Amino acid sequence: MRVTARSSLHTIAFLVGDALHRAGIRAVLTGGSCACIHTDGDYQSRDIDFVLQSTPDVTALDEVMATLGYRRDGARYVHSRSPFFVEFPPGPLAVGTDHRLRPVMLRLGNTKTAALSPTDSCRDRLAAFYHWNDRPSLMAAVQIARRRRVDMKLIERWSRAEGAAEQFHEFKRTLERVDKGPRRR
């Protein structure tokens, strides 16, 4: 598979994750692009974020990204045919103050990528809501919880530890309000 003008964020995220994996570069898909995958595209993002778990030199990263048609432009990688750019935000991999994350391996056809689990992706979006009052991130967290199995007890404990018990209850109320039918899992 190649990146084309018609490639979706979903497809590109898997292509990049798979290319990194094949090159021995450990990286985890995070942020809005991970939420996009866990919401089956209901949440949209313009960038694809991977947090590096290994320390490749810039040349190795440039070479892997070049195999997909991406070139480095400052802190991001851009593609001449795609509106989606790729970034590697600094680690460590964490959601709020929790660093004990266990990425999952997602597959799309013959490609695979390490990504935040649905629970951690939900917490990642909630962190944006809790700390910056980002309402679209709240709705992304709601959509993740509607479509995927998430550990609500863990999310609640983490929310309390983040000092966001009140915002967690808003998340729960919003989820109950929009979840009129059975959750898609």
Q: Rounded to two decimals, what is the model's pTM? A: 0.93
Average pLDDT, the chain: 94
Please give the pLDDT value at position 179: 75
b/e for 161-184, b at 16 or more Cβ within 10 A?
Answer: ebebeebbeebbebbeeeeeeeee
The pLDDT tens digits of the residues spanning 127-151 come to 999 999 999 999 999 999 999 999 9
Q: Which residue in this structure is represented by tokens 């915002």? A: 167
**Which CATH architecture fits 9-115?**
2-Layer Sandwich (3.30)
Nearest to 126 by CA among 29, 50, 31, 38: 31
- The pLDDT confidence band at residue 110, using thresholds 50, 70 and 90, is very high
- The pLDDT confidence band at residue 2, using thresholds 50, 70 and 90, is confident
**CA distance linking residue 185 with residue 173, whole number of Å:** 20
